[in-house]
Amino acid sequence: MSPSLVLINPWIYDFAAYDLWAKPLGLLYLASYLRSCGVTVHFLDCLDVHHPEMKKVPSLVQPVRRSYGTGKFWKEKIPRPPALPDVNRSYSRYGITEHLFIRELQKIKDPSAILVTSLMTYWYPGVREVIALAKKHLPRVPVILGGIYARLCREHALKWSGADYVHSEALPQGLESLFTIMHRLDIPVPKKRSANSPLPYPAFDLLTMMDYVCLLTSVGCPYRCKYCASPFLNPKFMRRDPMKVLDEILHWQRRYGIKDFAFYDDALLIEPHDHIMVLLGEVVKRKLDIRFHTPNALHIREITADLANLLYRSGFRTIRLGLETSDMKMHNDLGGKISPGEFEKAILNLTEAGFVKEEIGAYILMGLPGQKADSIMDTIRFVGRVGVTPYLAEYSPLPHTPMWKDALLTSPYDLASEPLFHNNSLLPCWGEDQKQKLSQIKRLVRQIRSNL
């Protein structure tokens, strides 16, 4: 008899959460690989917006869904964690109800193990809760925790998550150590691929509804931005064959009718002639009726007139650019990915290619150690003058990043001991004098958007 494994995407516990093409891509890749090994996979998605039973809960408001598959999650207000008593904002569990989760869990008979993923470090209360419930209702089943929180805060996860094992390696290389854990648990899973061979397409078919698909054409990033954990999580920058990516797009479009695709790459446009332009050229040649979205920031320097034209013709509808700041000194300190004038040139190339400015947004970092609120407002005004939409990206201090030491020195919170304090909603590396200008910053953003 083949082993049976439960894979869980946990709840989000936070002050705010939004479904911006948010799917547990790593867990779905793992699910597809395990199925290819003959394993029976049960997938429990605590963030399932489309679960039919959720509409029957009278106390909850139907989440508003927007174009291209994005929108709000189901949510229930819950007490704030004791570590956050002074935050004057409501705290919520985002996703399906606890009752529904337990009911879905109890449907699964005699699983061999439970595998739980994790994302933001400060979302670990949701991780801990699903593990506690799993152990309560399936007490003899071992729990293995993986994902970003497990990797960035391994010691905390070992102590506080409740998992029996904490797996802290990325796929596909981490398959070897994951299989070692399962063999230790006497779970007979035959390996079908080497660690370096490509994984099968992620198991999006396990979702209640497939309204979009997330694509990963590369892992890692050649840049080393001080605030980013990508070099730790994926030390090597590796890319897929663009024609293999095209095959995947055709698979989802032809078999499931998918039109919307969100790129999860950290460096989608790097060396474009050898990669993204090859892929998009084929999309244009085949006249595919699809739409592309970039929730992760695109590198501005790469957007030439030719690339902008190809982005438009191939169906890109959501363009997000990684501006960070208009202060060039600060920009050079962060990683130096653009020079003066390159942002304006990129916007010109995009608009001349056919994009309307409502489709173009610029991410502006806020809350960095030592950063002044006035500098952020200067950047917002700069983006407004160029004529595109500003999006604030609040800084979250993360272990294993070059900026982590600065964050520890700057923050009034105990970042090293409590991941809840990594929450970007707290602006954890700002003092009260800068936080008092937050309403002014947000008002300026609203004003710029209204003018556009």
Structural domains for the chain: 4-184 (3.40.50.280), 212-451 (3.20.20.70)
Tell me the mean pLDDT in the region 384-411: 97
In order of 37, 45, 124, 168, 228, the CA distances from 158 in angstroms are 28, 23, 12, 11, 23
In order of 11, 30, 59, 83, the CA distances from 125 in angstroms are 8, 23, 23, 12
DSSP 282: H
Return the sign of the alpha-carbon dihedral for residues 98, 104, 108, 114: negative
pLDDT at 119: 97
pLDDT at 334: 81
pLDDT at 101: 98
Calculate the CA 311 to chain-centre distance.
22
Q: 């983006």: which residue's tokens?
A: 383
Q: Residue 406 and residue 270: Cα distance in Å, rounded?
A: 29
Q: Residue 412 and residue 215: Cα distance in Å, rounded?
A: 38
Q: Residue 308 pairs with which residues in a beta bridge?
A: none
Tell me the mean pLDDT in the region 127-152: 97
pLDDT at 193: 58
Q: What are the residues whose beta carbons fall under 8 Å from the beta carbon of 99, sequence distance 6 or more? A: none
Q: Residue 415 and residue 364: Cα distance in Å, rounded?
A: 23
Tell me the mean pLDDT in the region 324-342: 87
Per-residue model confidence as pLDDT tens digits over 97-139: 999 999 999 999 999 999 999 999 999 999 999 999 999 999 9
pLDDT at 387: 93
For the chain, the average pLDDT equals: 94
Q: 């070099």: which residue's tokens?
A: 231
Per-residue model confidence as pLDDT tens digits over 361-371: 999 999 999 99
| DSSP H helical ranges for 116-265 | 124-137, 148-152, 154-160, 175-184, 230-233, 242-256
CA angle 171, 119, 423 (to 5 degrees): 150
pLDDT at 270: 95
- Nearest CA-CA partner of 330 in 369, 285, 386: 369
pLDDT at 192: 62
285: its two tokens: 């040649």
Q: Residue 119 and residue 425: Cα distance in Å, rounded?
A: 16
Q: Residue 411 and residue 406: Cα distance in Å, rounded?
A: 8
Is the pLDDT at 344 greater than 60? The verdict is yes
Residue type present at position 406: D
Per-residue model confidence as pLDDT tens digits over 171-227: 777 888 898 899 899 988 776 655 566 789 999 999 999 999 999 999 999 999 999
pLDDT at 225: 93
